[in-house]
Amino acid sequence: MSYSNRTRAAALAAALVSLAAAEASAQAYPTRPITLIAPYAAGGDSDASGRNLAAVAAKYIGQPLVVQNIVGASGTIGSQRVRTSAPDGYTLLISRGGSQAISPALDSKTPYKWNDFTMISLLDFNPVACVVKGDSPYRSIRDVLDALKTQPGKLNYATAGPGTTQHMAVEILLRSAGLPSNSAEQIGYKGGGEATAAILSGQVQFLCNNLPTLGGQLKAGTMRGLLTTTAERLKEYPDIPTARELGMAAMEDVMGWSGLYGPPGLPAEVVNKWVEVLRRVAQDPDWLRGNAGFGAIPAIRSPADTEKFARGQFEFYEKLGTALGLRK
């Protein structure tokens, strides 16, 4: 055999060995614990979603799932950590609408695009509710809007900052009523928890926030629900009308959501493993009970349907941000 032939044969043999090793590794996945990065603080929606998944999926995937909170920059620091990690399936992201759709749509400095990840599945939806304090004189969303029409700028609303879900929900509320953005004054806080507390302390008059954050106050009566962005009334809150009932169906596009993403280039074998695991998780009573416990709506989807949904969310916020002059 000539030298060149021996070289080609050796290269082919090495490639085959490498391929066999990769296939064996993928087939064996996982062989060690998996880290789920939640890009927001402990106690928030991404944290709750990640811990609910970790508690149930571990028994189907055969390895512990460890939730790690990496916070900062509206979820982009933790998200970027996953984007740049090795595509081996051992570092995955609990993606959120704010970090994966809103930030890329509104801020050109976001270090990734909405589709710079391997999308495995959606996990759950967190509908938005608009609320006032329990003893507020405003009994309905119409009362709030009428006050904004007759006395523009009189009422304040709380957000976790410009471009957040809380902000965008109010912008769509105002647009649905034919009101300009300056009809109400936005007061920014460090996070959704502080924004919620601002209602209870009377610093602001209304708030639109993810329902899981508000559930305890609504059930206790310290807050009054005026609308939800769900398609139908929630059985836990039968007295709160939907945005669609009130002629504001556009608000249904505003919701919190969690998904399971991986770094770009995640092997198909790893994705397929998770698809099978999540198929079982979706039917697990413990996972369903966990969602109900923090007010989330189960939403496990195929990778293709997840990408379609994520694209729709990005385009929705890109269009809205352009119309409101929020893109930078």
How far from 161 is each of 187, 255, 295, CA to CA, in Å? 8, 16, 23
Q: Is 200 exposed, middle or buried (0-12, 13-18, 19+ CB in 10 A)?
A: middle
The pLDDT assigned to 278 comes to 98
By CB atoms closer than 10 A (0-12, 13-18, 19+), residue 25 is middle
Return the residue matching tokens 């979820």.
75
Instruction: Give the residue carrying structure tokens 């941000």.
Output: 321
What pLDDT was estimated at residue 268? 97
> What residue segments make up the domains of the chain, in order of their start?
32-126+255-324, 127-253
Separation CA 47–CA 82 (nearest Å): 16
Task: Give pLDDT, residue 8.
Answer: 52
pLDDT in tens, 153-182: 999 999 988 888 889 999 999 999 999 999
Query: What element of type H or E holds 166?
Result: helix 165-176
Given phi > 0 = left and psi -120 to 50 = alpha, else beta, which region is 89?
A: left
Q: So what's the pLDDT on residue 16? A: 47
pTM value surpassing 0.75: yes
DSSP 208-260: EEEHHHHHHHHHHTSEEEEEE-SSS--TT-TTSPBTTTTT-GGGGG-EEEEEE
Q: What is the pLDDT of residues 297-327, one digit of tens each?
A: 999 999 999 999 999 999 999 999 998 888 8
- The Cβ of residue 253 has, within 10 Å, a number of other Cβ atoms equal to 16
Residue owning tokens 């021996």: 6
User: 32-126+255-324 adopts what CATH topology?
Assistant: D-Maltodextrin-Binding Protein; domain 2 (3.40.190)
Superfamily of domain 127-253: Periplasmic binding protein-like II (3.40.190.10)
**146 touches 236 (CB < 8 A):** no
Ranges of the chain with pLDDT below 50:
3-4, 7, 9-11, 13-26
Provide the residue count of the chain.
328
Residues β-bridged to residue 133: 223
